[in-house]
Amino acid sequence: MTDKEIIDRIQYLKKEKNAVILAHYYTRPEIQDIADYLGDSLGLSQEVAKTDADIIVFCGVHFMAETAAIISPNKKVLIPARFAGCSLAESITGYDLREWKKANPAGVVVSYVNTTAEVKAWTDICCTSANALQVVESIPSDKKILFVPDKNLGAWIMKKTGREMELWAGDCCVHERITTEMVLEKSKEYPDADILIHPESNCSHDDRILNLPQAYMYSTAGMVKHAAKSPKKQFIIATELGTIHKLQKDSPNKEFILIYPQTICGQMKKVTLQNTLEALEKEQYVVEIAEDIREKALKPIERMLEIC
């Protein structure tokens, strides 16, 4: 089948089965283009909570589809790329977190949404890169915070809020490669460009970056908004490659310079037109979560959605 035939068949099946396609900004351009909703982790969670579709085809990695299944137990959540994982989500297990909590019984656990359902089940409140500052600031200042699993996002929050937190030592294998030196070098090459940096990046909490007047720390959706509104013509993008597709589509007359050519999430790229079609045709692969874990994992997500 040609790509056009696959897309036509996907559109037909979507209507027939009352399905919706949600895709993350880091998926391939052709997946972004067929999505009913394109977003980052926060936007996608909010969309899942709103949709009245019977089937959600989640074009992203496993923890994201799991989050959709936690929020929408009465819908069928399908993940086209069954083995699309995430280095960050895999850096901590439910057992690890339970043991950490035992050692810190008074600690409040804030989990980045990039975690498994099991980890969310041991979490007090979730956050995303878009709302992490708000979530941490909502916790009384006398409480100790245990932050999992991204050490870079955690260190950036500490810098911005002045709040001490214990950090789990996980990282995203893509954003961990984005260093201060890379950003400084690119900013010399493009002195008029705004620099849009994801807080999971290795450089996000370095004062040399935080003090750069043209550097902004954003979730992926924040970058998209900033670039569309800004009068600037050039932007250095310090996040995953897939974001450039949306940025360029929204602002065709602006230039987007990727910080480093290897900022590619191979897991996100496992989602293809072919496996998205197969997901809809065969209603595979259904994301399933034990009900006791799902109920516990839902609470920290709801707490997050209540405050943002």
Binding mask 38-57 for ligand SF4 (x = CB under 6 A): --------------------
Q: Assess 268 for contact with ligand SF4 (CB under 6 A).
A: yes
Conformational region of residue 18, where left means phi above 0, alpha means psi within -120 to 50, and beta covers everything else? left
Distance from C-alpha of 59 to C-alpha of 268, rounded to nearest angstrom:
8
Q: Which is nearer to ligand SF4, 89 or 108 (CB)?
A: 89
Query: Any idea of the CA torsion for 141, 144, 149, 155, to the nearest 10 degrees?
Result: 60
Q: Assess 127 for contact with ligand SF4 (CB under 6 A).
A: no
Distance from C-alpha of 167 to C-alpha of 154, rounded to nearest angstrom:
6
Residue from the set 139, 158, 173, 212 that interacts with ligand SF4 by CB under 6 A:
173
Residue from the set 51, 67, 202, 267 that interacts with ligand SF4 by CB under 6 A:
267
**Piece of the chain touching ligand SF4 by CB under 6 A; list 5-13, 168-176, 220-228, 270-278:** 168-176
Distance from C-alpha of 126 to C-alpha of 200, rounded to nearest angstrom:
16
Q: Note if the bond before 95 is cis, omega within 30 degrees.
A: no
Q: Which is nearer to ligand SF4, 173 or 212 (CB)?
A: 173
Q: Which is nearer to ligand SF4, 81 or 279 (CB)?
A: 81
Assess contact for 153 and 204: CB atoms under 8 A: yes
Q: Assess 220 for contact with ligand SF4 (CB under 6 A).
A: no
Q: Assess 19 for contact with ligand SF4 (CB under 6 A).
A: no
Q: Assess 241 for contact with ligand SF4 (CB under 6 A).
A: no
Residue from the set 61, 271, 273, 289 that interacts with ligand SF4 by CB under 6 A:
61
Q: Provide the minimum distance between the beta carbon of 264 and ligand SF4 in the complex, in angstroms, as a whole number.
A: 9
Q: Which is nearer to ligand SF4, 77 or 265 (CB)?
A: 265
H-assigned helices in the chain:
3-16, 29-34, 41-50, 62-71, 94-103, 117-121, 132-137, 151-161, 180-189, 207-210, 220-229, 243-250, 273-282, 291-307
Tokens describing residue 25? 């900004």
Assess contact for 61 and 83: CB atoms under 8 A: no
Distance from C-alpha of 36 to C-alpha of 50, rounded to nearest angstrom:
13
Residue from the set 265, 279, 280, 298 that interacts with ligand SF4 by CB under 6 A:
265
**Piece of the chain touching ligand SF4 by CB under 6 A; list 84-92, 157-165, 204-212, 294-302:** 84-92
HEC sequence for 58-93: EECCHHHHHHHHHHCCCCEEECCCCCCCCCCHHHCC
Q: Which is nearer to ligand SF4, 6 or 301 (CB)?
A: 301
Q: Which is nearer to ligand SF4, 13 or 123 (CB)?
A: 123
CA distances from 72 to 46, 60, 151 (A): 11, 17, 29
**Piece of the chain touching ligand SF4 by CB under 6 A; list 27-35, 80-88, 162-170, 279-287:** 80-88
Q: Assess 201 for contact with ligand SF4 (CB under 6 A).
A: no
Q: Which residues bind ligand SF4 (CB under 6 A)?
A: 26, 61, 86-88, 114, 172-174, 240, 265, 267-268
